[in-house]
Chains A and B, each alone.
Chain A
């Protein structure tokens, strides 16, 4: 049995390489067929916002990488409801919103956790 890893991404997408490098950890795990979960928390939920335009900052599109998650076998993608509401964001299409209580239980279920 492979050990499962929950990656908690809490950085905004346009604040440097941190959000992308968190996603790279997730995609690399997926490429090795490992059980990986991804939770967007705090400013990390801004990665899920619609109508972002990477070209405005001459950046690569992080949201394109988010779409690659399922191709890498990453189906456990969650967003913190509290963080979304705090930032006036609607529940996203591409991540399942979870309450603080549900997140607490989910952290328990994973073998290891990494908060970036």
Chain B
């Protein structure tokens, strides 16, 4: 069983990413959108935490582009059809509201 965890809060002001990574199973994936994409800011603590966890990391393309983020090779960029497909590929979607 796998869960797609969707985050949209900035990891620098909020504990959601930390809790999510703590509860993530080996089959799970994370989709970063909105301010959660700032977790891909190279050299930051959230960046290192995500990298260390070695799970599938996806990022909503428009949000990364809007913020001028350059993506590491371990983060895959998706558009909305890609988001829909991710929600089908995983058994359930857990949005951290």
Contacts and interface: CB of A to CB of B under 8 A. Distances in A.
Contacts of B94: 8, 107, 113-115
Interface string B2-31: 010000000000010001001111000000
A116 B19 contact: no
B25 A104 contact: yes
A103 B20 CA distance: 11
Given A107-B25, A108-B1, A108-B25, A41 B92 contact: no
Interface residues of B, number: 13
A42 B19 contact: yes
A53 B22 CA distance: 32
B97 A115 contact: yes
Contact of A104 (B15, B23, B95): B23
Contacts of A115: 94-97
Contact of B3 (A82, A83, A113, A116): A113
Interface residues of A, number: 20
A113 B96 CA distance: 10
A78 to B, nearest CB: 12
A107 B19 contact: no
A103 B19 CA distance: 11
Contacts of A10: 19
Nearest to A43: B15
